[in-house]
């Protein structure tokens, strides 16, 4: 893909150290990867208004990247220099495709690779991927090794859960530590629990203790809404970093900890976000140039509108109009009319 950044890796304090994770100040603040949410348009907005220490891409299928459908999926691996350091998150069940995809990710200029071993969605689990790998630890270790082999000097990390139907955190963590990824992010729920119960942060000391002196970092994820809360959890439970997901909805300023935004600020950034999304993923010349016309549905933006537009008089009416909007020009017109 012609547009993907292929310049030298992110410039760190030690340019000879390829593993950027080792140079970040702890606790490390990470934006969680979320499908149809954390695309490059949203990441660019966040980078402008409140950048985390690390960005992740949406998860991308290794099998798809090694098929005739590669060109369309490459759209999800697009990034700009403003988003560095950035980690490509991949998923699948075939070690050979992880190896080939890791080679591709390295060629595309990413700073790291993360393996999704935690997504609970049924259609993904049926493929033997993501959280299903918790039930197949030997295959999981083979996948991590294949990814490391293909990644060269890029650091390889894992994002996962504490178990499949029930927690088997200690056993599962032990298997992962044998494979020596650079870091493991634990979402503190089982696959069965989805996000229906509170995250079990009290389990964090188990992998933290197990990882001591191994060189493997442990990150935590689940129910964290602010950077202040993330720092508090890092201190209390001893994790090296915290991944924040849903707290970013409607709040690109999250990692800056800015709180004095006006309603006009929020709505204008929403319009900016919409225009960037449409330019990248709509039927535009930019999209044709970057992604050979592989677009994304404009309705993806509407989950953002629910978060941007709330908590003020007239919000429900504005939100209703936005949910019926079909392009960025209409969104901008609705906002202008509301702001008077």
Q: Which of 62, 119, 130, 173 is catalytic?
A: 119
CB 156 within 8 A of CB 189: no
Q: Are strands 241-244 and 28-31 parallel, antiparallel or unpaired?
A: parallel
Residues comprising the chain, all counted: 340
CA contacts within 13 A on the Cβ side of 197: 10
Of 83, 78, 68, 85, which is closest to residue 28 (Cα–Cα)?
A: 85
Q: How far apart are CA 51 and CA 167, in angstroms?
A: 33
Q: Is 130 a catalytic residue?
A: no
Q: Are strands 60-61 and 86-91 parallel, antiparallel or unpaired?
A: parallel
CB 178 within 8 A of CB 184: no
Please give the positions annotated as active site: 119
């Amino acid at each position: 893909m012609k547009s993907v950044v292929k310049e030298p890796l992110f410039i760190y304090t030690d340019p000879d150290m390829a593993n950027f994770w080792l140079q970040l100040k702890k606790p490390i603040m990470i934006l969680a990867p979320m499908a149809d949410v954390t695309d490059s348009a949203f990441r660019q907005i966040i980078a402008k208004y409140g950048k985390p220490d690390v960005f992740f891409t949406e998860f991308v299928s290794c099998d798809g990247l090694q098929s005739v459908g590669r060109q369309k999926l490459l759209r999800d691996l697009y990034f700009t220099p403003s988003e560095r350091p950035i980690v490509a998150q991949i998923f699948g069940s075939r070690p050979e495709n992880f190896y080939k995809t890791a080679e591709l990710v390295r060629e595309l200029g990413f700073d790291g690779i993360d393996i999704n071993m935690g997504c609970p969605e049924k259609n993904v689990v049926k493929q033997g991927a993501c959280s299903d790998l918790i039930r197949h630890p030997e295959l999981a270790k083979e996948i991590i090794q294949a990814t490391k082999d293909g990644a060269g000097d890029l650091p390889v990390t894992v994002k996962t859960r504490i178990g499949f139907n029930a927690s088997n955190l200690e056993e599962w963590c032990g298997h992962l530590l044998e494979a020596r990824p650079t870091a493991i992010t634990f979402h503190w729920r089982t696959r069965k629990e989805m996000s229906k119960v509170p995250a079990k942060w009290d389990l964090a000391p188990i992998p933290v203790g197990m990882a001591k002196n191994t060189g493997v970092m442990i990150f935590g994820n689940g129910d964290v809404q602010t950077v202040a809360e993330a720092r508090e959890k890092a201190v209390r439970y001893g994790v090296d970093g915290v991944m924040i997901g849903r707290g970013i909805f409607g709040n690109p300023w999250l990692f800056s900890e800015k709180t004095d935004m006006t309603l006009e600020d929020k709505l204008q950034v929403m319009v900016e976000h919409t225009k960037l999304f449409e330019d990248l993923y709509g039927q535009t010349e930019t999209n044709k140039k970057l992604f050979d016309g592989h677009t994304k549905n404009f309705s993806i933006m509407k989950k953002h509108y629910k978060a941007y537009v709330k908590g003020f008089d007239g919000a429900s009416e504005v939100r209703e109009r936005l949910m019926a909007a079909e392009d960025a020009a209409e969104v901008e017109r609705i906002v202008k009319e509301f702001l008077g």
